[in-house]
């Protein structure tokens, strides 16, 4: 047996032993470990690259957009312009005064904390790697495909366009989740209108092609890490969705890559982070850019992030997907070939976040 084969075999064994506990990284913390295991340790070259990409700039602020004036025609034009600039230059922005009560946001965060800190046997009841399950808890969807495991546990809730079935959700976070999803869907509809206008399209253009038709919520729980400098909460990636609405608690950890530098996206009280996904980059024919982001691990406090991904999967699965026709011209030819969304999803789910992005398979080259 070669050395590489032996290492791969040992790693697979370690991953399986870890996964079989169904306790996730919180199980390590509860056991009082002082050092993370090899499956979470990042390669030395990745750690060195981080040193060179850490931002030292303090005079650049990430975009925050106030939606309180959205019903005023003059303010609306300014908001649309801010959305356009942020989507083109950053690939994300934060929104405040978006209409979701702070109490709803707080309750959602608290519900996820309670779920993760309840008795392990209750969490084990929903622990699964079955992609067909609408409600499941596990550690890293790409655990066995990735080069390095991420320091987090995730409760995943996938829904169709209809209202979610409360009985399928864990009881401890059921009420807060139902209420939060109701509000995020309403906000997503508003955001897709703003994005449509920012692209110079009809107000309902993105909604009309099914962008709001399917959403899934992935509640990430990042317990304290004894060696945060050696691992990550979520590795560098671009979201495979159309749009992501992300709620985070008060502990910093989210970072975005801008001009080859990592910038902290510090939590804003009552704010939500809006992230352009790869599918919206394709729909916009590269006018809007999906952003690379990651979450760092820390030892200073419990961190919770709740991204809600809007992807339109069910309504668009077997339809041809590509740049929106109105955005194509002789001067601006399509930058992506058309494809079935089903094929895109299959590539995304069968791979790892640290492998080639699904969007790259469909790019048209202009040499």
Domains of the chain: 3-362 (2.60.120.330)
Q: Answer whether 256's CB lies under 8 Å from 238's CB.
A: no
Point out which residues pair with 273 in neighbouring strands: 94, 246
User: Which is more confidently placed, 313 or 329?
Assistant: 329
Question: Model confidence over 5-30: pLDDT tens digits?
Answer: 544 778 899 999 999 999 999 999 99
What span, in angstroms and rounded, lies between the C-alpha atoms of 198 and 245? 18
Work out the burial of residue 9: count CB atoms within 10 Å of its CB; fewer than 13 is exposed, 13-18 middle, 19 or more buried.
Answer: exposed
Question: pLDDT of 196-222, one tens digit each?
Answer: 999 999 999 999 988 887 788 999 999
Q: Tell me the pTM.
A: 0.92
Q: What is the pLDDT of residue 348?
A: 79
For 127, 224, 295, the CA distances from 148, given in Å and listed in that order, are 21, 18, 14
| The predicted structure's pLDDT at residue 34 | 93
pLDDT (tens digit per residue) in 112-149: 999 999 999 999 999 999 988 889 999 998 999 888 99
Query: Going by DSSP bridges, is the β-strand pair 153-159/232-238 parallel, antiparallel, or unpaired?
Result: unpaired
Q: Are strands 64-66 and 92-96 parallel, antiparallel or unpaired?
A: parallel
What integer pLDDT is reported at residue 354 of this predicted model?
Answer: 67
Q: Report pLDDT for 58.
A: 46
Residue 243, pLDDT > 90, answer: yes
For position 164, what pLDDT does the model report?
61
Q: What's the pLDDT tens digit per position in 265-319?
A: 999 999 999 999 999 999 999 999 999 999 999 998 899 999 999 987 555 567 7
- Based on the number of CB atoms within 10 Å of its own CB, is 119 exposed (0-12), middle (13-18) or buried (19 or more)? exposed
161 pLDDT more than 70: no
Q: How far apart are CA 176 and CA 187, in angstroms?
A: 17
Instruction: Report how far residue 181's alpha carbon sits from residue 163's, in angstroms, rounded to the nearest whole number.
Output: 9
59-98 pLDDT, tens digit per residue, is: 567 899 999 989 888 899 999 999 999 999 999 999 999 9
């Amino acid at each position: 047996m070669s050395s590489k084969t032996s290492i791969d075999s040992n790693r697979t064994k370690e991953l399986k032993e870890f996964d079989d506990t169904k306790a996730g990284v919180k199980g390590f913390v509860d056991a009082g470990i002082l050092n993370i295991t090899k499956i979470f340790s990042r390669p030395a070259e990745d750690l060195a690259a981080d040193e060179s990409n850490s931002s030292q700039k303090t005079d650049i602020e990430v975009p925050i957009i106030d939606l309180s004036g959205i019903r005023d025609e003059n303010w609306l034009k300014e908001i649309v312009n801010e959305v356009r600039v942020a989507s083109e230059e950053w690939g994300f922005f934060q929104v405040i005064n978006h209409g979701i009560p702070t109490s709803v946001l707080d309750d959602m965060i608290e519900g996820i904390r309670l779920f993760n800190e309840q008795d392990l046997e209750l969490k084990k009841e929903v622990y699964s790697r079955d992609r067909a399950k609408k409600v499941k808890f596990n550690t890293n969807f790409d655990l066995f495909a990735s080069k390095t495991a991420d320091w987090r546990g995730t409760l995943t809730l996938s829904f169709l366009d209809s209202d979610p079935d409360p009985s399928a959700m864990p009881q401890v976070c059921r009420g807060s989740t139902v209420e939060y999803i109701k509000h995020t869907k309403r906000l997503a509809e508003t955001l897709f209108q703003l994005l449509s206008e920012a692209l110079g399209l009809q107000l309902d253009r993105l909604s009309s092609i099914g962008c709001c038709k399917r959403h899934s919520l992935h509640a990430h729980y990042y317990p304290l890490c004894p060696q945060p400098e050696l691992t990550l909460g979520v590795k560098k990636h671009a979201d495979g969705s159309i749009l992501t609405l992300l709620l985070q608690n008060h502990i910093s950890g989210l970072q975005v890559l801008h001009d080859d530098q990592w910038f902290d996206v510090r939590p804003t009280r009552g704010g939500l982070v809006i992230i352009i996904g790869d599918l919206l980059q394709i729909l916009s024919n590269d006018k809007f850019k999906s952003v690379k982001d990651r979450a760092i691990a820390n030892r200073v406090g419990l961190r919770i992030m709740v991204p809600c991904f809007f992807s339109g999967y069910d309504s668009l699965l077997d339809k041809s997907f590509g740049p929106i026709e109105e955005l194509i011209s002789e001067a601006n030819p399509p930058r992506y070939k058309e494809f079935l969304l089903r094929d895109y999803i299959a590539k995304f789910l069968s791979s790892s976040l640290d492998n080639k992005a699904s969007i790259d398979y469909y790019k048209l080259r202009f040499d």
